Chains A and B, each alone.
Chain A
Amino acid sequence: MKYKFTTSASALALITAAACPAYAEDYSRFGIEKDLPGTCSYAAIDAKDYSGRTLNIITHAIPVIGEPTALHAEQFAELTGAEVNVVHVPFGDLFQRIMIPFQSEQNAYDVMFYPSLWIGDFSRFLAPVPEAYVNSTGMSDVTPSFTGVATWNGQMIQYPMDGDRHYLKFRTDIFDNAEVQAKYLADTGNDLTVPATWEEYNQVAAYFNASDWDGDGELNYGSAEVAKRDDLMFSAFISRAAPYAKHPDVQGGFFFDLETMEPLINTPGFVRGLELFIEAQASFPPGGTNFGLGDEIFSFGGGQTLMSYSWDDAYIQANQEDSRIRSMVAAAPLPGASEVWNRTTGEWDTFETPNRAPYMTWGWSSAVSSMSQEQEMGFDFLCFFSNEANAEHDMQIGRFGVNPYRNSHFDVEYWKGQGWADKTAQTYVTTLSEMEQSQNRVFDLRVPGVSQFMSSMANGVAEAMAGQKTAQDALDDVAKEWSEIADRIGKDRLREAYANVVTLEDNEG
């Protein structure tokens, strides 16, 4: 009943706000170029009055997501008269700071910002996004992938405000250089092309490793990758293993067999991915096996390495005004695999065109607590946070951590307007938008206890990378631990949650 009331009140408020003759007022004092039309535009929110009411928000530390949260909270408070309290928490503490109040039934925070893959753990504590917001202008422009990421058992419970995925980044001044191409052909017998498989990636990285190919007097290296155990390395491994383990004709689970809930993490596809990850270490810069995300961004974005793959940050860093490699980088889909493990037949299938398995990984999301007494204001804040003008503003600032998640963000002209070269903008937009079209995508393991599964996998991969175990032995141990975790959680509960991931991967959503 309460939910219905909230929904209809929100709908009424939004309709009233949207009907306001709005855009005459100048909102550029808030740092945006101009207010853009939309359900939760500055003008629409300005028409609301939350005086005397308080909104409590928990978010990540500044700058990533924490800085835009603080900025938009301040703006929201000024526009509506609400008191908005923002708590910034370092990443390592964020999960428990949200989870402990949930589990102890304390209404500590109305609004939360957190990694979207925690949805399996938080789902039972989140308020569904009311229909009025699901139908808002901003939301209807969100791509199907990120709408899917926000949806749980057919209901939207997270509010999309970021879009993340892994893709390949490479130096165009080397790959497009005729002299370099000729030398590469002479030395290797192969054309220098953007790697289409991970084997090719490793070969190209090895060829260009430890030589001064940009002529600045310093050695350059082949590949920068996130390889530090507890620093999102699990995502790098999944990117590498996905095309070998995600067969386009096999449905019903990538990490687990949905029917039996047996882990697939030690199947040959994953093992091949890990072996190639281990091999690639030879082409990392010195210390590269200990690179966290920050190091990877700095290494590729700073011009030290030829190729890299991860999120948008390094790409945006490389294209900032003060970057010495500005407009010398381009994006491409993650390399694929010519042989893909078919777990149904138990054989490797050969693909003439390499199999690609784009990885829609991680990404920040937001939600309103089901215990909140200020759900309407909470959703208004999230709608305002991600309104058209704010989203456009936030994407331009690399440190904010907000990346394209709406169809309108895949606009070459917009990125060229940021000073990017034509090829840089074109390949970026094409790569990202093509991932949306893929029928063979991989998503995070968004189930209860995801951190336990990922921590176990990262440890196994790290042991293999450090030479403590073979790839097969390390992943066998991970599979054993995954089975134990699955038993503790309960296979039925796990299956029910995992079905949400499989729905996305099998394009049934």
Chain B
Amino acid sequence: MLSSKHFFLLPALLTLIAIILFPLLFTIRVSFSSWDVFQSGLDFIGGKNYGRVFEDERFWQSLGRLSLLSLISVSLQYTLGFALALSVWKQVRGGRFLRVIFLIPMMTTPVVMSVIWRTVFHESLGPANDILSMFGIGAVPWLSSATGAFISVLIVEVWQWTPFMFLLLLAGLVSLPREPYLAAAIDGASTWRTFWQVTFPLMAPITIGALIIRLIEASKIMDTVYVLTSGGPGTATETSSYYIYIRGLRDFQIGYSAALSLVYLVIMIVSLTVIAKLLLRILVGKVG
């Protein structure tokens, strides 16, 4: 039964309702309305908006593009982050300084960095092509070709978020027990074998956590795309969140963009749950 001690939960409960529950319920309600630039208010149009979502080819294409972008960028971030973490794990000269340097990209504002990267990739005035020309490589259409733009977005994402992966993996590495390494050393295991047989399996739980966190974040990519390519050329770099932004805030199709957001949310919850289960089976199952 309720007692006075339960009232202490009230502030947290109210905060939860205000911050999470109300916006979510309101979004669900809005998604069943035709709230638009010419129709304000919450009328009820049933599942029309959801019907539109399933016929919206551009949304599904953007989702496919986002999946590809997220998988590639998070894989690269993980690989590079792990390599960097390993490089400063053991005591190395200037290790502390390197740790700070590695974290700088993550601490900068994505929009500001995207503006700087856009300047770097500027095809006639930017330094990227200037540097390449010193090696006899011709001008690369960084932002004006579909492949170039996709790779550019990927580079910025990897540059910005590898430090996050580095931070998590380094925290995991420093907390590993010493005993398995002593045993491996006594058995005469090579560095390579020690990594695959000891470090990698022991890091599995933190790897799964880091990958899932980054996949969640990567799937929301919006500011980099907005500044760097505006989703172009054509729709080559248009991601789901950028598309929802266009429909919601540019076109002011509030009801429809709410439906898009919820469909997107459900897809993300389902797919990330499946990915987490798979990773558990592959990485932790292997240890077991």
Residues of chain A within 8 A of B230, CB atoms compared: 228-231, 292
Tally of A-B Cβ pairs under 8 angstroms: 101
A289 to B149, CA, bound (A): 12
Q: Is the CB of A462 within 8 A of B234?
A: yes
Q: Is the CB of B37 within 8 A of A451?
A: yes
Whether B194 is near chain A, meaning CB under 8 Å from some CB there, is no
Given A304-B124, A465-B233, A466-B232, the answer on whether A121 and B249 have CB atoms closer than 8 Å is no
Task: Give the bracket for the number of chain A residues in contact with chain B.
Answer: 35 or more
A104 to B37, CA, bound (A): 12
A96 to B253, CA, bound (A): 11
Considering the complex, which residues of chain A in the window 273-296 have a beta carbon less than 8 Å from any beta carbon of chain B?
285-290, 292
Task: Give the bracket for the number of chain B residues in contact with chain A.
Answer: 20 to 34
Whether B129 is near chain A, meaning CB under 8 Å from some CB there, is yes
Q: Is the CB of B142 within 8 A of A287?
A: yes
Whether A53 is near chain B, meaning CB under 8 Å from some CB there, is no
Residues of chain A within 8 A of B37, CB atoms compared: 99, 121, 448-449, 451-452
Considering the complex, which residues of chain A in the window 211-246 have a beta carbon less than 8 Å from any beta carbon of chain B?
228-231
Whether A95 is near chain B, meaning CB under 8 Å from some CB there, is yes
How far is the CB of B136 from the nearest CB of chain A, in Å?
17
Q: Is the CB of B251 within 8 A of A290?
A: no
Considering the complex, which residues of chain B in the window 204-250 have a beta carbon less than 8 Å from any beta carbon of chain A?
226, 229-236, 246, 249-250
Whether A483 is near chain B, meaning CB under 8 Å from some CB there, is no
Residues of chain B within 8 A of A459, CB atoms compared: 58, 235
Q: Is the CB of B144 within 8 A of A290?
A: yes
A95 to B252, CA, bound (A): 8
Among B139, B149, B246, B249, the residue within 8 A (CB) of A286 is: B139
A179 to B9, CA, bound (A): 85
Whether A92 is near chain B, meaning CB under 8 Å from some CB there, is yes
A288 to B146, CA, bound (A): 14
Q: 0/1 per residue, A430-459, Cβ < 8 Å to B?
A: 000000000000000000110110010001
Given A229-B230, A449-B38, A489-B38, the answer on whether A288 and B251 have CB atoms closer than 8 Å is no
Whether A93 is near chain B, meaning CB under 8 Å from some CB there, is yes
A103 to B33, CA, bound (A): 15
Whether A467 is near chain B, meaning CB under 8 Å from some CB there, is yes
Question: Considering the complex of A and B, which 10 residue pairs feature the smallest CB-CB distances, nearest first?
Answer: A466-B234, A287-B123, A103-B40, A286-B123, A466-B233, A230-B230, A448-B38, A289-B144, A290-B143, A286-B124
Given A287-B141, A462-B235, 6 extra CB contacts under 8 A: A228-B230, A287-B122, A287-B144, A292-B230, A466-B232, A489-B38
